[in-house]
Amino acid sequence: MSKKQKWISFAVFAVLICVFLVGSFIVKSPGEEETIQETMRNEVLHETAKISLFGIKDVNPGLISAFCVTGIITAFAVIVRIFVIPRFRYVPGKFQLLLEEAVGTFDRMAKGSSPHLNRFLGAYIFMAGAYIFIGTIFELFGFQAVTTSGMSVALPAPLSDINGAITMGCLSYLIILSGGITSNGLKGVGRTLKDFSLPISMSFRLFGALLSGALVTELVYYYVGLSYVLPVVVGVLFTLIHALIQAYVLTMLTALFYGEVSEKPAPKRKKIKASV
Amino acid sequence: MPLNIDWQQILLHLFNVTLLFAVLYFLLYSPIKKFMQKRSEHYLEMEREAERKLADADAVKKEQEEKQVRFDEEMAGVRSKIEAEARDSAEKTLADAKKEAEKILEANKANAQREKEKILQEASAQISEMAVEAAKKVVMESTSGAYDSFLDSAKGAKTDE
């Protein structure tokens, strides 16, 4: 790019930024009609912002996000399965390497945490990691949906909905329980039930982490004055970082507990009576 | 329910996650893992093949070395045998040559002796002949002298008279 082209690009960006800045002051923010307390409460509880699910039931926006994320991932998986995987080579290209690394990371994590039983665990944590990561990044795009009250809301991360977080937490616990039963039968059930607080802690950890991200973003966007420059850090960087961290934490915890409960107990040593 | 927890929505989330699990497992996780496994098996097979070939090469090398050792030993045996034969042959030839030389020498010696004896005989014959001749001569000379002196003296005496 020549020096002249650089200057033209710079000027175009500067004009665009100025136009958007002026436009943001001219156009009235709809958020001003709602107090910050109401916005925060609505983010947590979704009492008023409900979306109709094909006219069957009014659901939280998080559930719609979950379906959207599943749809996106499914479309991606179908395209990859049809067009990319059959063209895989022994010496991988960049995209193949990315896919292999994604699968390989979770596979290695499963094998490392539970060397004796890991086939199902690897597949589960791959799914969980992909769902949490992509689901959290999903909120960055700000896809709009219309609520039952006719308001427009940006679709949040699926797991910032308490029901989504409870599902992931409890499902992970059930997977851990299944590992215990498969490996150790009733003993495995006992071992798993010993950590009875696990589903609650997992659910609320996910919910808290993702909700806090959503709340901070909402708080920043609520005030016009904070809507410049700051969202670049808060909106993008924080979301990316906590998407990675939450995906890693839940998958790692699931793999660790799975490995712990499915581990075969060491055979007891017979006591040898000392002959007098 | 507190916190807007809704069992129906939880079940819908569960349905969604299960669907996602099935999709990801069958479309991405399983095929990619199978491919990775196939590739690692391919490389393992290559490694095993290389090891097998290396072992074969080692065996061939060992066999060749053994053959070389055997060949060297055989060659050393053959060489020593040939050397011994050559030595024997040379000794025999030398002995034969010596014998031949001795024979020739003996023959020469005999010839020489014979020649010597012959020469001696001839020489002695000549000497004796010469001696006889000389004696004859001496005798003849002395006889003729005596005759001459006698004749001279006789002649002198006649003249005196």
User: Where exactly are the structural domains of chain B?
Assistant: 7-152
pLDDT the model gives residue B107: 87
pLDDT higher than threshold 60 for residue A274: no
Q: Which residue has the higher pLDDT, A106 or A35?
A: A106
Contact state of B6 with A123 under an 8 Å Cβ cutoff: no
Q: Which residue of B has its CA nearest to A74?
A: B23
pLDDT higher than threshold 50 for residue A69: yes
Alpha carbon distance B80, B101 (integer Å): 30
A-chain CB neighbours of B46 within 8 Å are none
Q: Hey, which of A38-47, A130-139, A206-215, A266-275 has the most confident mean pLDDT?
A: A130-139
- What band does A129 get if pLDDT is binned at 50, 70 and 90? very high
Pick from A64-68, A254-258, B15-19: least confident: A254-258
Alpha carbon distance A25, A46 (integer Å): 29
Alpha carbon distance A50, B157 (integer Å): 211
- What band does A276 get if pLDDT is binned at 50, 70 and 90? very low
pLDDT the model gives residue A28: 64
Q: Which residue of B has its CA nearest to A135?
A: B17
Q: Hey, which of A20-34, A40-54, B143-157 has the most confident mean pLDDT?
A: A40-54
Per-chain mean pLDDT for chain A: 84
What does DSSP assign to residue A21?
A: H
Whether A130 contacts chain B with CB within 8 A? yes
Q: Which two tokens stand for residue A198?
A: 């696990």
pLDDT the model gives residue B161: 61
Give residues with Cβ within 8 angstroms of A154, minimum separation 6: A139, A142, A143, A144
Per the CB < 8 A criterion, the answer to whether A40 and A218 are in contact is: yes
Give residues with Cβ within 8 angstroms of A205, minimum separation 6: A169, A249, A250
Whether A221 contacts chain B with CB within 8 A? no
Whether A124 contacts chain B with CB within 8 A? yes
pLDDT higher than threshold 60 for residue B30: yes
Q: A162, A200, A203, A251: best mutation site toward chain B, by most B Cβ within 10 Å?
A: A162
- What band does B32 get if pLDDT is binned at 50, 70 and 90? very high
Q: What is the mean pLDDT of residues A72-80?
A: 96
Nearest to A85 among B9, B24, B31 (CB): B31
Whether A211 contacts chain B with CB within 8 A? no
Q: How far is A123 from chain B (nearest CA, A)?
A: 6
Show the CA angle centred on residue A162, arms to residues A173 and B23, nearest 5°.
60
Contact state of A171 with B17 under an 8 Å Cβ cutoff: yes
A-chain CB neighbours of B14 within 8 Å are 167, 171
A-B contacts (CB, under 8 Å): 107
Query: What was the ipTM of the complex prediction?
Result: 0.83
Q: How far is A264 from chain B (nearest CA, A)?
A: 26
pLDDT higher than threshold 50 for residue B99: yes
In a 3-state reduction of DSSP, which class is residue A146? strand
Nearest to A45 among B3, B23, B36 (CB): B3
**Strand A57-59, strand A51-53: pairing:** antiparallel
Contact state of A122 with B29 under an 8 Å Cβ cutoff: yes
pLDDT higher than threshold 90 for residue B18: yes
Q: What is the mean pLDDT of residues B134-156?
A: 73
Whether A85 contacts chain B with CB within 8 A? yes
Q: Which residue has the higher pLDDT, A229 or B70?
A: B70
pLDDT higher than threshold 60 for residue A156: yes
Q: What is the mean pLDDT of residues B47-75?
A: 93
Q: Which residue has the higher pLDDT, B130 or B102?
A: B102
Sign of the Cα pseudo-torsion (A235, A238, A240, A246, in order): negative
Q: What is the mean pLDDT of residues B133-161?
A: 72
Q: What is the mean pLDDT of residues A230-259?
A: 85
pLDDT the model gives residue B1: 66
Sign of the Cα pseudo-torsion (A211, A214, A220, A222, in order): negative
Q: Which residue has the higher pLDDT, A25 or A181?
A: A181
pLDDT the model gives residue A77: 96
Residue A182: Cβ within 10 Å count: 13
Q: Which two tokens stand for residue A9?
A: 């690009």
Alpha carbon distance A102, B122 (integer Å): 131
Q: B12, B13, B37, B47: best mutation site toward chain A, by most A Cβ within 10 Å?
A: B13
pLDDT higher than threshold 80 for residue A64: yes
pLDDT the model gives residue B160: 65
B-chain CB neighbours of A45 within 8 Å are 3-4
Per-chain mean pLDDT for chain B: 86
Q: What is the mean pLDDT of residues A13-27?
A: 83
Taking CA atoms, B28 is separated from A81, A86, B38, in Å, by 7, 12, 15
Alpha carbon distance A44, B53 (integer Å): 67
B130 backbone dihedrals φ, ψ, rounded to 5° = -65, -40
Q: Name the percent of chain A lying above pLDDT 90.
A: 29
Q: What is the mean pLDDT of residues A118-142?
A: 92
Q: How far is CA B32 from the centre of its chain?
A: 70
pLDDT the model gives residue A238: 81
Domain ranges of chain A: 32-262
pLDDT the model gives residue A30: 57
Alpha carbon distance A157, A61 (integer Å): 9
B-chain CB neighbours of A47 within 8 Å are 4
A-chain CB neighbours of B13 within 8 Å are 63, 66, 158, 161, 163-164, 166-168
Q: What is the mean pLDDT of residues A127-132?
A: 94
B28 backbone dihedrals φ, ψ, rounded to 5° = -120, -60
